[in-house]
Amino acid sequence: MKVRQLSLSILFACGMGAALPALAQSNVEAKPASASIGVPNPAVHVREAVQRLRANDVLGLVQTLMPPAQFQMLRGAYEIGRQETPTDEQREKFAEAVAKYADPNSVEILMAEIEPKLIEARPKAEGAILMGLGAMQMAISAPDTDLTEEQRAALRLAMPGIERWVKSTDFLSSDSMRQALTLVTDAARATGIYSIEDMQQLSLEQALGQAGSVLAATKQALRIYGLDLDTIADSVYVEVVDVDGESATVKTTVTIFDAPLSKEMELVLVDGRWYGKEAVISFDFDDHEFEYHRERTRVEVES
């Protein structure tokens, strides 16, 4: 793990929290096929994550998805990064990234770069759409694709809606692009982060809190292109397939373009709460670098 990269990029990385629709739903239901007495219902914890995502509460979402002990480790690594003095190269790279939204005229600056590409792409758009739809049809029918039969059936059901969406949405509209960029850059500028030093003034909780406004703006920007993540989130149905001690399997079904897409997910019980098995593995900070930083944190706190 690159601790410094973590400390400097956490705000922007969390802006991608909109990529978690598989957890989204404010009225999740659960029908456990089997349950263990005294073991909490996995749907309760899924519901909490859903509510955090719907409220653009990135801090709460991270805390819901990550076991407390691991969140404490993350905070310790972040705090160490805050205390280190950045190099000139790091300042320069950070400034380059921030420049995309820091200037009050950033939207016009970005549009000056993007608009020629939009103009160039417009004559080819219809052909590209037809090719894309054709490729999807081939994926549905070709026997050598990696799709399961269930996925083929779902994609087949979704195809009419996808076709309507791509044919009715002007992805190359300059006006739409300007609106989307305005929403996101305004939200990023409102965080008040213009330098590494600004970022280092924020605790992990504060940084994640700032990310919520960026997430909300990103959702608004996507609506311009006909994608409402909150509406998609509202369609998710969660069924508890099995609970066996400290392991559980849940099946989530999300409706996209009038087609139900389902996926099973394994959960594990940690300190009385359920977490995605893959997420727990991903946040298992047991490498030598983190052990060093964790020990540093302990020594600094004790001193």
Question: Would you call 130 helix, strand, or coil by DSSP?
Answer: helix
**If we measure between CA atoms, which residue out of 282, 281, 284, 292 comes closest to residue 77?**
292
Q: What percent of the chain has pLDDT over 70?
A: 80
**Positive or negative CA dihedral for 132, 116, 223, 13?**
positive
Which structure tokens are listed for 237?
Answer: 């149905």
Residue reference for tokens 């087949």: 156
| pLDDT of 82 strictly over 80 | yes
The tokens 């019980």 sit on which residue?
269
* pLDDT tens digits, 247-258: 999 988 888 888
pLDDT tens digit string along 165-177?
999 999 999 999 9
Block residue for tokens 């406004």 = 213
**pLDDT tens digit sequence for 90-143:** 999 999 889 888 899 999 999 999 999 999 999 999 999 999 999 988 888 887
Picking from 181, 288, 269, the residue whose alpha carbon sits closest to that of residue 224 is 181
More confident residue, 209 or 291: 209
Q: Which residues contact 226 (CB under 8 A, 6 or more apart)?
A: 165, 168, 169
Confidence (pTM): 0.74
